[in-house]
Amino acid sequence: MIQQFRPPPSPASTLAEAEGLLEKQPHVALGKAEGVLRQAPGFPPAEFLAARALRRMGKGRQALARLDALACGQSRVPAVFWELGQVAADLGDSRRAIAALEALTGLQPNVAAGWFLLARQLRKAGRDEDAWRADLSGIHASSRDPELLKAAHAVNEGDLDTADALLTARLARAADDPAALRLHGEVAWRRGDMTPALQRVERAVALAPGFDLARDFLIRLLLQTNRLPEALEQAEVLARSPVPAPGNRLLLASVLVRLGKQERAAQIYRALLAEQPDQPQVWQNLGHVLKTLGDQAGAVDAYRAAVSRQPTMGEAWWSLANLKTVKLGPYDIAAMEAALASLAGAGDDRREDVFHLHFSLGKAFEDARDHAASFAHYAKGNALRRTMIRHDADAFSAEVRAAALTFTAPFIARMGIDGSGGGCPAPDPIFVVGLPRSGSTLVEQIMASHSQIEGTMELPEMMMIAGRLQSRVDEGEFADFGAMIAALSPADRTRLGEEYIERTRIHRQTSRPRFIDKMPNNWQHVGLIRLILPNAKIVDARRHPMSCCFSGWKQHFARGQTFTYDLADIGRYYRDYVMMMAAWDKAAPGTVHRVFYESMVADTEAEVRRLLDHIGVSFEPACLEFYRTERAVRTASSEQVRKPIYKDGLEAWKPYEPWLEPLKAALGPVLESYPAVPDA
């Protein structure tokens, strides 16, 4: 039998076979490439494959020599420069790596990976600004990537499952893709999964520190999770971007405001306005800061500058109206009515302007003593706002009842809420609780005038801890609230208390041993406070139910108080609050000190002395001259606490009484019994 002649494999087929062996068997791939080179010395594809095999075998110097020779003869082949850049980077030769990668990005500016690798080498060489710009070029290139565009479109359409699948597959192939990681973080955020969202976006920023949009997103995620020191650190970096954007400085200012650093925020706003005065939003932000700092005249000027540039800017009008020392006159009323008319038929994106204008007109007509017109506008503003928020009064009442039924006297004794059963022993916090518009800012200002007590702001940390615990019930880990609370070990309670102390430390600007947390909603968590901070003090600021509830109803709150936009809702909320606090007083008498606003107005010194005795500090005359204390105050009462106590507001609800029957009905026996509480 004659044996059939088989020609030797072609160089192309040999190299194709070697390519398939490159990652797992680079030494075999190298042998095949060398075989081709024996037949065709200097054949560029074989030289290139040999160099790649040598790099994977850890023989970077040999690979570099071959790649240098190839780069001289193949100056228009991007793959050569990509490989050369990686080999030089592996060998720590940043200079040669940068030269190769600059050549690569010049040839292929739309390939993001080259820019990101170049940025890392530039950063190693100390060329931080050039590295930042390279990262930005990489992101620009990513914005044209068809696969990422498809995922981004799915995200924008709300098809998160498709986006997740696309991005998961891409990151399986390229785990260090900053643009894909940021977008994958957005998918998690839109699903409400904050932990993976933060992890992915943090990774994107770590890989591409010049990725400004990812850092911006990271800062907003950190703000949402109240990680304020980290947010400030990231915002400081973003503000130094070599590609300046006013939004970067605005974001830094917003972080500073959250941290109580109002003066520096004001400096940023003024600098931005000096560069470009026609920015109504920045004027409004400046007004907020100046109001907080007590510069009322400056705040008025800033708010008026905002509405003069954008007459339909409802929040700026409301901010002006909400300055209790300002009365809006006929010219203002005409301007706001014209703004409302121009917004008639506007889409949902202008609803905030509309309800803010109604609240503002309500205040303007109140100042003019036209109470019918005032109530009509307050009612319209509240009704519109109520459609935009979620508040389930029945569900909330059920939560309050569950808490009240949990913290009974036997339960308290069994858990050792006096500190014998765990909890952080720090005596630092003083919690001021109650309803908004109850006089709590006055109580805070009085205490903050004491040399041993620092005023901070309405801190969200306790509510975040409580929300995290409640989520364990919602997710089915515990049958109910009581079972979850009972399951907290002494060590758990100590850890949670220490977490609160540590997380609030950023808000303390002085060395005073005590500090105030004035989050009013913490009345819902009195039991938890005593459980994890047994030596903390709790002060309940209370005001006549009609006065307090009506004042809350006609006050638009920026966030957090979802129960105030319906007279029946706010009445039920007040009733739940009274019931909860009465149950606590019965279970643990004397642990909460109550301040009635009317009593504070009638005999200030006596009430102040009682308050300071409960806190455990000596009386200081400065507490009676609280209006002289200079400090930032962010609540709606910021102007009122900067002057002596006055009685004018005690019965401000009276002229509106004909329209307040729903509130009276909701309050029921709580109204009839005040200041006592119903037996039931």
87 pLDDT tier (thresholds 50, 70, 90): confident
DSSP three-state, residue 517: strand
pLDDT exceeding 70 applies to what percent of the chain?
95
DSSP-assigned beta bridge partners for residue 540: 433, 594
DSSP three-state, residue 219: helix
Q: How many CA atoms lie within 13 A of 482 on its CB side?
A: 12
Q: Is the peptide bond before 460 cis (omega within 30 degrees of 0)?
A: no
pLDDT of 326 reads 86
Could you tell me where the beta strands, DSSP code E, fall in 385-463? Answer: 429-434, 453-457
pLDDT of 111 reads 84
Q: How far apart (Å, rounded) are the C-alpha atoms in residues 104 and 97?
A: 10
Q: Tell me the pLDDT tens digit for each residue of 352-411.
A: 999 999 999 999 999 999 999 999 999 999 999 999 999 999 999 999 999 999 999 999
Q: How far apart (Å, rounded) are the C-alpha atoms in residues 598 and 361?
A: 29
CB 124 within 8 A of CB 98: no
pLDDT at 240 over 50: yes
Altogether, the residues listed in the chain come to a count of: 680
Longest distance between any two alpha carbons in the chain, whole Å: 124
| Residue 422 DSSP code | -
Question: 463-471, long-range: CB within 8 Å, 24+ apart, which pairs?
Answer: 463/519, 463/521, 463/522, 463/525, 464/226, 465/496, 465/499, 465/500, 465/528, 465/532, 466/524, 466/525, 466/528, 469/528
Q: What is the mean pLDDT of the chain?
A: 90
DSSP-assigned beta bridge partners for residue 454: 515
Tokens of 283: 């004027």
Measured at the alpha carbon of residue 345, what is the angle toward residues 341 and 347, in degrees to the nearest 5? Answer: 120
**Section 218-244 average pLDDT:** 93
CB atoms under 10 Å from CB of 76, counted, come to 8
Question: Regarding predicted confidence, which is higher, 90 or 364?
Answer: 364
Tokens of 177: 């893709």
444-461 exposure pattern, b = at least 16 Cβ within 10 A, e = fewer = bbbbbbbeebbbbbbbbb
541: closest CA among 401, 442, 409, 658? 442
Q: How far apart (Å, rounded) are the C-alpha atoms in residues 389 and 374?
A: 23
pLDDT of 2 reads 46
11 pLDDT tier (thresholds 50, 70, 90): confident
Number of helices and strands (H, E) in the chain?
35, 5
pTM over 0.75, yes/no: yes
635 pLDDT tier (thresholds 50, 70, 90): very low
Q: How far apart (Å, rounded) are the C-alpha atoms in residues 508 and 363?
A: 35
Query: What one-letter code names the amino acid at 106?
Result: G
| Residue 404 DSSP code | H
**Section 400-427 average pLDDT:** 89
pLDDT at 634 over 50: no
- In order, the DSSP letters of 603-638 are SHHHHHHHHHHHHT----GGGTTGGG------STTT
**In angstroms, how far is CA 516 from the centroid of its own chain?**
21
**Section 528-550 average pLDDT:** 96
Q: How far apart (Å, rounded) are the C-alpha atoms in residues 253 and 290?
A: 13
Q: Tell me the pLDDT tens digit for each residue of 290-349.
A: 998 889 899 999 999 999 999 999 999 999 999 878 889 999 999 999 999 999 888 788
CB 481 within 8 A of CB 399: yes
Query: What one-letter code names the amino acid at 593?
Result: H
Complete domains list, the chain, with CATH: 393-673 (3.40.50.300)
Q: Tell me the pLDDT tens digit for each residue of 430-484.
A: 999 999 989 998 999 999 999 999 998 899 999 999 999 999 998 899 999 999 9
The enclosing H or E element of 516 equals strand 514-517
Q: Tell me the pLDDT tens digit for each residue of 96-125.
A: 888 888 888 888 888 888 889 899 999 988
Q: What is the CA radius of gyration of the chain?
A: 33
523: closest CA among 451, 409, 597, 438? 438
pLDDT of 22 reads 77
CB 147 within 8 A of CB 170: yes
- Phi and psi torsions of 625, nearest 5°: -110, 40
